[in-house]
């Protein structure tokens, strides 16, 4: 195999790795990197960009309303209790890290397309 083909295969493998790099499975939980866009007409997942799950949130970014709406939406989407979903990083930022139970792994891999 020549250099060009090895380089192309390497780029494809790196892209596949990066596409699924928006969540991290730990021993006790799953950490999801999210880009939240508040003030949308409805709460929905818009895709995966820059190693983050992009979610439009229907609540305003004031007094934690958008974070609460985001956690409620993720709990409903992943099928876990709201008390088990928490924003652990980026409470006042659009770029957030959310912690969910490890039992949601199958649903997350379905979102990732695995």
Domains of the chain, by residue range, sit at 22-112
Per-residue pLDDT of the chain (114 residues; tens, 9 = 90+): 565 556 555 555 555 454 567 888 888 888 999 999 999 999 999 988 888 999 999 999 999 999 999 999 999 999 899 999 999 999 999 999 999 998 887 777 676 555
- Pairing between β-strand 29-38 and β-strand 52-57 as defined by DSSP bridges: parallel
CATH class of 22-112: alpha beta
pTM, full prediction:
0.79
In whole angstroms, what is the distance from residue 88 CA to residue 65 CA?
A: 16
């Amino acid at each position: 195999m020549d250099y060009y083909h090895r380089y192309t295969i390497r780029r494809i493998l790196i892209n596949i790795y990066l596409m699924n790099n928006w969540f991290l499975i730990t021993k006790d939980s799953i950490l999801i990197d999210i880009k939240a866009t508040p003030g949308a007409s409805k709460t929905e997942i818009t895709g995966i960009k820059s190693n983050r799950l992009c979610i439009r949130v229907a609540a305003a970014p004031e007094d934690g309303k958008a974070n609460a709406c985001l956690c409620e939406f993720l709990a409903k989407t992943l099928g876990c209790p709201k008390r088990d979903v928490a924003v652990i990083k980026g409470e006042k930022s659009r770029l957030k890290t959310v912690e969910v139970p490890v039992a949601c792994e199958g649903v997350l891999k379905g979102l990732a397309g695995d």
